[in-house]
Amino acid sequence: MAKAATKTKSKTPAKTTKPTAKQPQTIYGEGGETHQTAGGDVPVMTTSQGVPVSDDQNTLRQGARGPALMEDFHFREKMFHFDHERIPERVVHARGYAAHGYFETLDPIPELTRADIFQRKSEKTPVFCRFSTVAGNKGSADLARDVRGFAVKFYTQEGNWDLVGNNIPVFFIQDAMKFPDLIHAAKQEPDRGFPQAQTAHDNFWDFVSLMPEAMHMIMWAMSDRAIPRSFRFMEGFGVHTFRFVNADGKSSYVKFHWKPKQGLQSVTWDEALKINGADPDFHRRDLWNAIQSGDYPEWELGVQVFDDEFVDSFPFDILDATKLIPEEDVPVRIIGRMVLDRVVDNFFAETEQVAFCTLSDVSTCGTDLMI
């Protein structure tokens, strides 16, 4: 019979040391390993997803001297960080800019979800928000005609929750298996290395001509939504359909919407060409200047919530990311707001190295937070 998973090495009884005023109590495991405890001047150690851990010096093993277990997500996360201390630019969303701020719950929804962040009115939660273009490389211009990424990291009391989306409510494909093909088609031509930051070439049009499901997204990408005036005047969407689960285990479907309080604005194509020539960092400069001058950008967070009865009556699959649910059919309920009020101190350490967990169930990223 297999032994229970443990981080111990022997059967030595656990023992403790007497704490002092400045030194928290030290707890030793059965193998003699130390376990951190909260208190004193020592901050609580956590995973990247904000989950407290007491020991990062011993790998979870099968028995006292057994093999290391892949379920030890803290070990895997620590190795992941080590392997990525020198990072290449992102394959997509390489051209990004970010800022710190807070999320304030305006309309608590405990009847829909047990997530702690949505339980108390007026409570503020720190956030980090990164905007980006999709196709362009790190040094490309800001006002390329392109989809914009809209990624928000919430530092909640239950761990970090990442709501990752775009400024367009739908996507090109239905099956994630096609994603590498889509991106390869959208990148610059392999034989010449251009055009960069735009999909105005044969590879991309050949791909979408063979993919009728992409036509909805193409219509959005050819609209003014793909050349926003500023990050501050841009909507955001979770794109996918998620689930809310309340304390009683009842679930509902949900789609997330970010609505800019400043309004929705874009530029014309001629304006975009002139701005790119004059200031390729236009969107970066705009966000930086706005926050530094105290003109903090703000978005309302809204949700479309619906049940199985609506799903059965809807003419399309609600899990199909190439479709949207009209707001006339399911109105958006505003439940909170996000304000960005602080620029980063170190662009590389914060904006470039930030990582977002894109899974719909963030419990698989090392936290027990359920939305």
List the one residue out of 205, 371, 247, 352 whose CA is nearest residue 301. Answer: 371
> Is residue 234 within 8 Å of 148, Cβ to Cβ?
yes
Active site residue 257: no
Sign of CA dihedral 88, 92, 93, 95: positive
> 112 near 253, Cβ under 8 Å?
no
Annotation marks residue 81 as catalytic: no
* Burial category of 354 from C-beta neighbours within 10 Å (exposed 0-12, middle 13-18, buried 19 and up): middle
Helix (H) or strand (E) holding 73: helix 73-83
Instruction: Show the tokens assigned to 349.
Output: 């350490």
Options 58, 166, 167, 276, the catalytic residue: 166
User: In the structure encoding, which two tokens stand for residue 161, read together?
Assistant: 């929750």
List the strands of the sheet with 27-28, edge to edge: 15-16, 27-28, 34-35
The Cα 41–Cα 23 span in angstroms is 7
Number of Cβ within a 10 Å radius of residue 160:
22
Q: Which of 93, 100, 216, 257 is catalytic?
A: 93
CA atoms within 13 A on the CB side of 1: 2
299: left (phi over 0), alpha (psi -120 to 50) or beta: beta
Q: Where are the alpha helices (DSSP H) in 194-317?
A: 202-209, 215-221, 269-278, 282-292, 308-313
CA distances from 68 to 46, 63, 286 (A): 21, 9, 49
- What tokens were used for 73? 């997500």
C-beta of residue 99 within 8 angstroms of C-beta of residue 344: yes
Is residue 74 a contact partner of residue 53, using CB atoms and an 8 Å limit? yes
Strands 298-306 and 251-260, by their bridges, are antiparallel
Question: Annotated active-site positions, please?
Answer: 93, 166
